[in-house]
Amino acid sequence: MRINEVVLYKMQMQMKNPFTTSFGTEQNREFLLVEVKGDDGISGWGEGVTSERPLYSEEFTLQSWYMLEKFLIPLVVNQEITHPDDLQELFKPYKRNHMAKSALEGAVWDLYAKQCGESLATSLGGTKKRIEVGISLGIEDSYEKLIQAIQEKVDEGYKRIKIKIKPGKDIEVLREVRKHFPNIPLMVDANSAYTLDDINLLKALDEFNLMMIEQPLTAGDLIDHAKLQKQINTPICLDESIHSFEDARQAIELGSCKIINLKIGRVGGLTASKRIHDLCENAGIPLWCGGMLESGVGRAHNIAVAALANFTLPGDTASSSRYWEKDIIQPEVVAKNGVLTVQDAIGIGYEVDRNEVKKHTVAKKVFS
């Protein structure tokens, strides 16, 4: 396949409500879209899942823009590419910057699937037609608000509820939640807010019958998580510690986690995601697909990857309306009773709504 043109869009989109984690609050999403155009006039789309500031990881949106403009797009524009899997090797000389690489690689994958006349899920080897999803709820300033938010999402049928915790907003919050919802499938995400000095508190979480605790300790750490997992019953799920196939292999070998949250952007793209999927499948480590407050383009990619067989736990890809008044894809993503249908249509399976994209575009550059 030949890439004739690449278009980079810097987007700004207001979320309906602020989303608070242990590392900060976000409401104004600033992220990238990448469009690649093939010979035949078909477009492939990818999303760069960074934020304006490097709070979740070291990457941020302007850095991704620069990486793409100066280093990555020149490697693909006006080039012949045999298969999207080849991009990993092509990008390898440039270290890390996985979200930037993934944005472009994802667009090429979409184009490739469209040119093959099949869905992206099928191109990736996905077999599931329906995927189960949960929802991630941010830290709230009152119990009332949190309980109300949970009730709403339980009523909508989401298959599990994830709540964010941080020091001072953990045990008591969980006690309150379990008082109202003793039996719901529940998990927590600490976004790296604790250390092994908090061992007593982390052990105390065992009493709440949680499906898992996501990323309790430092981002990137594998060793302390392995020590922690030996001392608690709640399964550890890693997010910010898994940036590559090698990270996943080492985490499994060390016993740092029992579950992995896979985010396509964090691991550098769909090719890396497939490899990690196969590794985890062989090792008996279940996966679920995480989220980065994506627009519809990123959401569509998440659904495609979650069609792979070893994504056995409900992910964070909720309906478009979870964050957006109006999403930039048609149709919007709609979870019915906590279940999403994997689209049969070619590529990502959703039409990008160019009018909506235009409304939220604050910078655009064409490479040809």
Catalytic machinery residues = 164, 263
| Binding residues for ligand OSB, total number by CB under 6 A | 11
If binding is defined by CB under 6 A, does position 136 make contact with ligand OSB? yes
Considering only 59-67, 83-91, 218-226, 289-297, which stretch makes contact with ligand OSB by CB under 6 A? 289-297
Q: How far is the CB of 291 from Mg ion (least distance, A)?
A: 9
- Say whether 15 sits in a helix, a strand or coil: strand
If binding is defined by CB under 6 A, does position 216 make contact with ligand OSB? no
Q: Length of the chain, please?
A: 368
If binding is defined by CB under 5 A, does position 316 make contact with Mg ion? no
Query: Is 316 assigned to a binding site?
Result: no
If binding is defined by CB under 5 A, does position 294 make contact with Mg ion? no
For residue 219, the one-letter residue type is A
Helix axis angle for 143-156 and 171-180, nearest 10°, is 50
Distance CA 263, CA 247 (A): 13
User: Considering only residues 228-267, where is the footprint of Mg ion by CB under 5 A?
Assistant: 239
If binding is defined by CB under 6 A, does position 189 make contact with ligand OSB? yes
Q: Which residues pair with 366 in a beta bridge?
A: 7
Q: Which residues pair with 220 in a beta bridge?
A: none
- Say whether 136 sits in a helix, a strand or coil: strand
Q: How far is the CB of 317 from ligand OSB (least distance, A)?
A: 7
Query: Is 353 assigned to a binding site?
Result: no
- Which residues fall within 8 angstroms of residue 94, CB to CB, at 6 or more apart? 67, 71, 72, 101
Considering only 88-96, 291-299, 325-333, 345-353, which stretch makes contact with ligand OSB by CB under 6 A? 291-299
**Six token digits for residue 87:** 């991009």
Q: How far is the CB of 47 from Mg ion (least distance, A)?
A: 18
Residue number, nearest CB to ligand OSB: 291
Long-range Cβ contacts of 76-79 (<8 Å, 24+ apart):
76/3, 76/6, 76/36, 76/104, 76/108, 77/3, 77/4, 77/5, 77/6, 77/367, 77/368, 78/2, 78/3, 78/4, 78/368, 79/2, 79/3
Considering only 140-148, 206-214, 270-278, 328-336, which stretch makes contact with Mg ion by CB under 5 A? 206-214
Q: How far is the CB of 181 from ligand OSB (least distance, A)?
A: 19
If binding is defined by CB under 6 A, does position 356 make contact with ligand OSB? no
Q: Select from 30, 170, 189, 356 the one that contacts Mg ion (CB under 5 A).
A: 189
* Cβ-based burial of 355 (10 A; exposed 0-12, middle 13-18, buried ≥19): exposed
DSSP category for residue 347: B
Query: Is 214 assigned to a binding site?
Result: yes
Q: Strand ranges (DSSP E) for the chain?
A: 3-21, 24-38, 43-48, 130-132, 135-137, 161-164, 186-189, 213-214, 236-238, 259-262, 287-289, 329-330, 339-341, 351-352, 361-367
If binding is defined by CB under 6 A, does position 191 make contact with ligand OSB? yes
The contact pattern for ligand OSB, residues 239-268, with x = CB under 6 A and - = no contact, is x-----------------------------
Q: Select from 9, 31, 56, 208 the one that contacts ligand OSB (CB under 6 A).
A: 56
Q: How far is the CB of 165 from ligand OSB (least distance, A)?
A: 11
The answer to whether 44 touches 114, Cβ cutoff 8 Å, is: yes
Nearer to ligand OSB, 108 or 177 (CB): 177
Annotated binding site: 189, 214, 239
Please give the residue ranges that form the binding site for ligand OSB (CB under 6 A): 56, 136, 189, 191, 239, 290-293, 316, 318
Please give the residue ranges that form the binding site for Mg ion (CB under 5 A): 189, 214, 239
Annotated binding site for Mg(2+): 189, 214, 239
